Amino acid sequence: MKRISYFCFILFFCWFIPDVIGQNQITIYGYVKEKISEEVLSGISIMDSLSQQGTFSDENGFYQLHLPQNRVHLVASGIGYQTSRWKSNILQDTTLHFELHLDTVALQTVTVSAARSENPENTPILGKIRLTAQQISSLPSIGGEKDVIKALALLPGTSGGREGQNTLLVRGGGTDQTLVLLDGVPMFNTGHLLNFMSIFNTDAVKNIDYYRSGFPTQYGGRLSGIVDIHTRDGNKNRWQGKAEVGLISTKILAEGPLNQSKKTTLLFSGRSSYLDLFSLGKKKEVFLYLNNSFFKYRFFDIHTKLSHAFEDGSKLSVNAFYTYDQLNLGDGIKSEIIGTISETNVKVQNFVGVLNYQKSLSPQLFFKTTLFATGRPDHRLNLTESYRLQDDDELGTYGIIFPVTTLEKIGFEYINENYTVYNQGIHLHFNWSPSAGHAIKMGFWGQHNIYPVYDFAYQFQPDFSPHQIEVLYVKAPTLKALEGAWYVEDNLVLGQWAAQLGLRWSSFFANQHFYQGLSPRLNIKYTFPKLFTLKAGYTHTQQYNHLLLTNDLLIAETVWIPSTPFTPPAIAHQYSMEISRYLKTWNIEVSMGAYYKNMKNLVQYPTVEVVDPYKYDNWQEKVFTNGLGKAYGLEWYIARSLGRLTGLGSYTLSWNKRRFPDLANGQFFPARFDNRHAISLALQYQFNKKWQVSSSWSFHNGDRFTLPNALVTSNPFTSTYTINAGLNANQLPNFHRLDFSLTYQKSLPKSNLLTIRLDVYNVYNRANTFYLKADKNVRYDENWNIIDEENVIKSVSLFPVIPSVSLAYNW
Amino acid sequence: MLQQYRLFLIFLYSLSHFSCEMERTIDIELPDYQTQIIAIGYVSPRHTSVFIAPTQAPLDNTEAPPLEGLKVSITNEIETISLIPQVEGLFQTQELLEANTWTLNVLSDNFPPVRSVAQTIPSQPTIENPTWTLIDSTQHKYRIDFEFKKERPLDYYGTLIEKTCCDPFPSTTPFFNKIALVEAVDSIGTFSISSELRINDNATISLRLFHLSPDLFQYIKSIRTQEFISGDYLYDPVSVFSNIENGVGGFGALREDSLHIHF
């Protein structure tokens, strides 16, 4: 490790040699925007066709190009946009903004999954894929709910975890090892309560940068993957909107300029489920008559973004993002004289506030800062009440006597839990481009975490015992942490070579303990002209926050804990390489990659009782620590981005292992998601401007689980326990599923658009396993006597074939 | 039109709702099951105790075959001491052992011979500075403290504080499950143990300090870990340590110091 750091240090200073010998250059810089909405565009190629030097616009739409003082012929091009050209003699630094028109013909055919909107041969970063909102929207979905996270799960080296779930497991990493950023803000949770849908409304999303390796140094804090979601600013030229009605939710989007100068824009998007319209039973009746049951679930999310562009080219934007989920279920049971009611009420919220400011300080220097605050309150109530029923008569008006049943509360149990996690932070980022083919990125990331703010209140009165009320109130100690990182990264292009070298120094201070670490990153690319591009890289990552999942239920609490001496920071080293080729004639990209990743200080939290007042007090005693992880594999990828037929295919062959001192006798065992073979296919065909068909199919080997092969019965020395043949030695049946969608678009007057879409989830009704349960198959005779019984393992599946129709209206 | 649309939505939603929780029996190849001998226990200088039984099939209710012609002994290079059968699979001896290293042997007519990894009885631990303080007279609540010295890293200790006399509800927790392991195995120095108990008059409290062999420590830790997470064995399983050849279980060595306090 020290050798790697030393090598990086030497290399870093050698880097500046090209700048010393650079001469007589001018800088052309500016923003690339879409002509009509003036939304900034990233990943657009800006190329001088005379000197053959070029660059790409960054995530802020900003570009810098260093060229000799001479005549230039600039060409700005990107998939889905008409090419723009600009010729001139340049003698000094010049600001030049490009405004590209949408290519309506190409737009129709871009892409299910032309996952890379930039030519992969032009960047040294390994494992980066960019998805746009259009690409995600074109994929089939469940109930018409387009989903960012599920779209990413189709990509090589990436797994979506269990069927229908909103998790992203990258190259053998765990649920908590993928950093998801919304406009630069780390999110605690990405799924709505039942975790079937992500909280991100694709209508407000511009694009997503997804990294499996080769992380730029501005990213850190997670071991395995980065998902950087950028939202749109809103149309600067006119008000426009979209309303959509689907099976699960209804959505609305409105965006436009707030003033005449068109410098300020507003984007509002909202989504609300109406599953509660179909809720089962009525809570009020259950509580009145102690009978029947009720179930109600609803969610909504709101995103608002206000952006202002200043005269000097700088930009200020303010984001507010809020989600709300509520699950309420319960039942009433009545016997002759006593009745009971039980109710569970879960409310989970996410809120994010972001302030972004960016400015070009000079032709060579770009600056961006982000201030943010996030939080995730989680409130849970479990209630049980017992009542004595008493039949009585009541005297009504005019002397009429009514029979009534009165309820007398005779016992209760209330369990009230509140769990909240907050953080606030700042990110400063500089991009300095001193000479042609040379850019330095540097910055600081700091955040203050507060977790977990947890309290537990318990009240219990046994039936008919009003004087024996038990009360327990537990408030877990709040932990606070300061997390910071300084980073610098150098990007250099020399002929056929390109390299990205970076260092990230991160630190973490919590509970009187200080941790720090240096994370070197290196990506190198060499292009064999007309053959292929070879990339290789090394990524070192550190993770200071660990996720505890308290159970395996759909409404699992997600609890983040800081590094402590007991749970030190997790560390990963990843070595990867990739060979890729872009076949221009066919618009096809093919690549093959390999990776090897080892991880240490992993944490695993076992299944525990859901109701445990001390679960956040003594988690350190329960968690399995000092885990090692090993993941390696090969990935193949093919994608076509232009034409009537577009799509992607990927195949991943991988191994994923874990080792914990207290599990499996300290031996390596397969991780739960050690899915050896994984295949994804997504295809889209554009018949004409009205009709489009899209389909995706995914397959992977079943998840791992453990079956006991012997039972040690209770004895004077131990309780009953099981003997396992091997941890995670068994495998669920293979997972595979076909999804399909058919889209019809009809142009209406005044550029309005009506879209009708049919989605079919799980076309051939594959019963993929959601979880297993041990059960008995019992056979009875005609007198209901047991003939024989057989112990079996049953697979429970959640989603059969689900057809759905959605209707969208754009104006 | 609106009514039709609503009906259509209800139909689609019902379809998905009623098809939820689809259960089916799946064909999972179960691991081969073969009955094995369970051997669990410990050897100590004054008292050796071992439990012997056949394993049960985890997914089957069939009775395990009985162990026929069972002979249980502990041996070292010089001598063999037979253990005397007690109730329900328990074998014990009170014979004073002079040698330090012992191996458990189990012979039966219908199973291959079972043998443990050799165990060395650790050095004598000592309870130091025991104190008991009344902290709540209304509830008869006492705090009991004692100390012990751990002189070498990788020495393994466990403690047990329990009522041994006159408890109206005596504990039925198995012996190994009651021992509190001292987890800081790498540390050395003086360790303080403290416990708060409700103690009535005439009760007897036992303070017990165990110096454990590494195998016994690891075995107790793994069964405790599995017990802790045993909500559903299909999730998050833990492999329990075993040092029994041709069988399963844990056989270890311990040496004990104890103190009985009468109230």
In the chain, the amino acid numbered A232 is R
Torsion sign, CA atoms A618, A619, A624, A626: negative
Q: Do A709 and B31 touch (CB under 8 A)?
A: yes
The most confident of A207-221, A661-675, A767-781, by mean pLDDT? A207-221
Please tell me the distance from the alpha carbon of residue A358 to that of residue A177, in angstroms, as a whole number. Answer: 29
Query: Worst-scoring range by mean pLDDT, A17-21, A414-418, B113-117, B257-261?
Result: A17-21
Q: What is the pLDDT of residue A196?
A: 77
pLDDT at B167 over 80: no
Q: Which of A376, A358, A342 is nearest to A310 (CA)?
A: A358
Which residues 6+ apart lie within 8 Å of A414 measured at CB? Answer: A381, A382, A383, A384, A457, A458, A459, A460
Please tell me the distance from the alpha carbon of residue A296 to that of residue B191, in angstroms, as a whole number. Answer: 53
Q: Which of residues 185-244 of B touch A (CB under 8 A)?
A: 221-223, 225-242
Measure in Å the smallest separation between the Cα of A631 and chain B Cα atoms. 20
> Alpha carbon A238 to chain centroid distance?
31
pLDDT at A649 over 90: yes
Query: Worst-scoring range by mean pLDDT, A393-407, B79-93, B216-230?
Result: A393-407
* Interval B210-234 mean pLDDT: 79
Q: What is the pLDDT of residue B209?
A: 94
pLDDT at A557 over 90: no
Please tell me the distance from the alpha carbon of residue B48 to that of residue B104, in angstroms, as a whole number. Answer: 10
Residue pair A395/A361 in contact by the 8 Å Cβ criterion: no
More confident residue, A280 or B11: A280
What b/e readout covers A226-245, taking b as 16+ CB neighbours within 10 angstroms?
bbbbbbbbbbbeeebbbebb
More confident residue, A458 or B5: A458
In sequence order, what DSSP letters do the residues of B28-55 get, joined into one string? --PPP----EEEEEEE-SS-EEEEEEE-
Please tell me the distance from the alpha carbon of residue A282 to that of residue B127, in angstroms, as a whole number. Answer: 63
Please tell me the distance from the alpha carbon of residue A552 to that of residue A606, in angstroms, as a whole number. Answer: 9
Please tell me the distance from the alpha carbon of residue B168 to that of residue B46, in angstroms, as a whole number. Answer: 29
Q: Which of residues 78-97 of B touch A (CB under 8 A)?
A: 89-90
* Interval A215-229 mean pLDDT: 93
Residue pair A722/A710 in contact by the 8 Å Cβ criterion: yes
Place of tokens 């009541």: A394
B112 touches chain A (CB under 8 A): no
pLDDT at A205 over 50: yes
Q: Which of A738, A606, A742 is nearest to A662 (CA)?
A: A606
Torsion sign, CA atoms A171, A175, A181, A185: negative
pLDDT tens, A596-639? Answer: 999 999 988 765 444 455 555 666 666 788 899 999 999 999 98
Please tell me the distance from the alpha carbon of residue A381 to that of residue A152, in angstroms, as a whole number. Answer: 35
Q: Which two tokens stand for residue A497?
A: 């070579």
In sequence order, what DSSP letters do the residues of A274-288 get, joined into one string? -GGGG-BS-HHHHHH
Please tell me the distance from the alpha carbon of residue A697 to that of residue A677, in angstroms, as a whole number. Answer: 14
In this prediction, residue B25 has a pLDDT band, given cuts at 50, 70 and 90, of low
* Interval B184-191 mean pLDDT: 80
In this prediction, residue A269 has a pLDDT band, given cuts at 50, 70 and 90, of very high
Q: Do B248 and A800 touch (CB under 8 A)?
A: no
pLDDT at A4 over 60: no
In the chain, the amino acid numbered A649 is G
Number of A–B residue contacts, CB under 8 Å: 195
* Interval A116-145 mean pLDDT: 70
CB-nearest to A663 from B21, B235, B238 is B238
Q: What is the pLDDT of residue A782?
A: 85
- What mean pLDDT, rounded, does chain B reach? 83
In A258-337 the beta strands, taken as DSSP E runs, fall at 264-273, 293-309, 315-334
**Residue B54: closest CA among chain A residues belongs to which residue?**
A712
Q: What are phi and psi of B12, to 5 degrees?
A: -65, -40
Please tell me the distance from the alpha carbon of residue A674 to that of residue B76, in angstroms, as a whole number. Answer: 45
B21 touches chain A (CB under 8 A): yes
> CB burial class (10 A; 0-12, 13-18, 19+) of residue A765?
middle
pLDDT at A112 over 50: no
Please tell me the distance from the alpha carbon of residue B74 to that of residue B116, in angstroms, as a whole number. Answer: 9
What would you measure as the largest C-alpha separation in chain B, in angstroms? 96
Contacts of B23 in chain A (CB under 8 A): 773, 794-797
Q: What is the pLDDT of residue A610?
A: 46
pLDDT tens, A143-152? Answer: 777 888 888 9
Alpha-carbon separation of residue A494 from A27, A438, A441, A658, B45 (angstroms)? 18, 9, 18, 41, 76
* Interval A427-453 mean pLDDT: 88
Q: What is the pLDDT of residue B227?
A: 73
Please tell me the distance from the alpha carbon of residue B76 to that of residue B121, in angstroms, as a whole number. Answer: 12
Contacts of A732 in chain B (CB under 8 A): 26, 28
Q: What is the pLDDT of residue A633?
A: 96
- What mean pLDDT, rounded, does chain A reach? 83
Please tell me the distance from the alpha carbon of residue A644 to that of residue A693, in angstroms, as a whole number. Answer: 11
Q: Which two tokens stand for residue B189?
A: 């120095």
* Interval A98-104 mean pLDDT: 76
Q: Do A795 and B228 touch (CB under 8 A)?
A: no
In this prediction, residue A688 has a pLDDT band, given cuts at 50, 70 and 90, of confident
Q: What are phi and psi of A749, to 5 degrees?
A: -55, 155
> Alpha carbon A703 to chain centroid distance?
21
Q: How large is the C-alpha radius of gyration of chain B?
A: 25
* Interval A646-656 mean pLDDT: 93
Q: What is the pLDDT of residue A280?
A: 66
Please tell me the distance from the alpha carbon of residue A364 to that of residue A41, in angstroms, as a whole number. Answer: 19
Q: What is the pLDDT of residue B7?
A: 57
Residue pair A561/A545 in contact by the 8 Å Cβ criterion: yes
Please tell me the distance from the alpha carbon of residue A505 to that of residue A486, in angstroms, as a whole number. Answer: 5
More confident residue, A353 or A531: A353
pLDDT at A298 over 90: no
Q: Do B25 and A792 touch (CB under 8 A)?
A: yes
Q: How far apart are the first and last CA of chain A?
A: 57
Q: What is the pLDDT of residue A549?
A: 65
pTM as predicted: 0.80
pLDDT tens, A273-285? Answer: 876 766 667 777 7
Q: What are phi and psi of A329, to 5 degrees?
A: -145, 155
- What is residue B138's three-state secondary structure? coil
In this prediction, residue A94 has a pLDDT band, given cuts at 50, 70 and 90, of confident
